Amino acid sequence: MCPTPVSPCSACGAFTVLHRDNLYPVTLVAAVLDCVLRLDQQPTAAPSPPWSQLANLIEQVPDTGKELDQCKAQAHALSGLIQRNWLGPFDQLCLSCGVIAFAEDDGQVDAVETDTPPQA
Ligand SMILES: [Zn+2]
């Protein structure tokens, strides 16, 4: 599946539009991060400063390869839930302003009716 290019939100202009075609790649990243966080849940002797564990988390990313099938299954399930519960029949959701919309066809903007007659 080839991800759909992101167009800016027609309401707020942000590039935080989540298109239904991009749900799986986004949820796969979330599933891999979830796996990394679960692998890192080891008791520590003392509390550590914020961000000090980031290097440890990054070192565990290669370990997620062993659980990649589980990550993919988690991503498929989550993308299905997002599609059903958030998008419904719509194509995209702006994560900035919350507008849901149907995708525009090939960048063509729908005609807008105005009172101004077309110029010859
Ligand atoms: Zn928006």
For ligand 1, the distance from its centroid to the CA atom of residue 106, given in whole angstroms, is 19
For ligand 1, the distance from its centroid to the CA atom of residue 15, given in whole angstroms, is 8
Identify the burial level of 71 via C-beta atoms within 10 angstroms of its C-beta, where 0-12 means exposed, 13-18 middle and 19 or more buried: buried
For ligand 1, the distance from its centroid to the CA atom of residue 101, given in whole angstroms, is 10
| Cβ neighbours for 88, distance < 8 A, ≥ 6 positions apart | 100
Fill in the amino acid letter for 82.
Answer: I
Q: How far apart are CA 22 and CA 7, in angstroms?
A: 12
Residue 1: predicted pLDDT: 54
Tokens representing 62 are 């290669």
User: Which of the residues in the chain have pLDDT under 50?
Assistant: 107-120
Q: How far apart are CA 118 and CA 120, in angstroms?
A: 6
Residue 118: predicted pLDDT: 39
